[in-house]
Amino acid sequence: MTRTLESTDVKNKLEDLSGLVIKPGENPYQALINVCNSRPTEIQALYSTHRTARNAQQQEKFLSAEYDQLIIDPFLLRLENPKIEPGFRDPRNCFVFWARPPDHIVKLALHLQALLREAAPTLEVTHSRTPEEIADLVSVVRPAVSDITSLTYTRRARLVKPMLSYDLSAIAVSFLPAAGEPVQSPPPVAPHPDNIVHPGLPDGTTGASDVYTYHHLRRDTFDKVQEAGLDIASRYVVPSAHITLGRYLTQEEHGTPEMRRGWVDAINHINAWLEKEVWDGSSNEYIGEWIVGQERGLDARVGPLWYGGGRTLVTGEGF
């Protein structure tokens, strides 16, 4: 039965809505940087265009008279309800370099999840492979893994302006690459060397530091993995930086037009709150800025990672 299951990606392809066209064979992250002339404001604008256009697209789908149903992941459904297929194990194995959020971003994500309950993964090297295939890939890149996972120690990029992004299969909190916004993050954990440029830190150089964006970090990770001898086969390379908050398991809570309207209105209300009180740091409780690598470096992880499985090969040095 497992071999007949289809991932939600089949019915819910994540297309690039920024307007960028990638040429075959080129580093897709460098392509966006070139189009934006490496300017942080232009890179942020393309990320913003993508997520705003996608939310508008998905809102239309939720509220359409032709609405059919949510896209529920059959793999997750079997993991959450073992009665459907006793003994089921997710056969899809992945190899990723993940950026893990610091504690203050986890706190914000938990708050957003709580608000949503009231209403109703940096670079992926490859996905949906067998354990043996992943082991072969790991053996190729292993000598470079420590170097790659510690990229964020000296190449620091800020993410800002969190917003809920959603579709018919899931909901996430997404961020934009920083472009000179005021600093919100707490300082790095002491002791800390003074000879490193610290993007996003309160030293008066935030604007200059933001020249190295999150998209530059994605580009550099892509290049280093390729230099180590692997071809990249990510599920998507769209201009998005996000943390998945949840996926749908049943149709019931979105079964009527009124329920779906309530869901969309709740998301829009939360996004208005984020923009008004979290983006500019006026919230006394929640911080919406994420300096990638704060507290921990990139996490090189393998195995059935979709829903909490797998193992870590190496976690890079944090700050």
79-117 residue pLDDT tens: 889 999 999 998 888 889 999 999 999 999 999 999 998
**Burial class of residue 305 (count of CB atoms within 10 Å of its CB; 0-12, 13-18, 19+):** buried
Structure tokens at 205: 């150089």
156-205 residue pLDDT tens: 899 999 999 999 999 999 999 999 998 888 877 666 555 454 444 434 34
216-231 residue pLDDT tens: 999 999 999 989 988 7
Q: What is the pLDDT, as a whole number, of residue 168?
A: 94
Q: What is the pLDDT, as a whole number, of residue 200?
A: 43
Check pLDDT > 80 for residue 16: no
141-150 residue pLDDT tens: 899 999 999 9
Sign of CA dihedral 151, 152, 155, 159: positive
270-294 residue pLDDT tens: 999 999 999 998 888 999 999 999 9
17-34 residue pLDDT tens: 677 777 777 788 998 999
Share of the chain above pLDDT 70, in %: 85
Average pLDDT over residues 243-271: 94
Q: Nearest to residue 302, comparing CAs of 186, 145, 162, 181?
A: 145
Instruction: Please state, rounded to an integer, the average pLDDT across all residues of the chain.
Output: 86
Q: What is the pLDDT, as a whole number, of residue 85?
A: 93
Structure tokens at 40: 């942080």
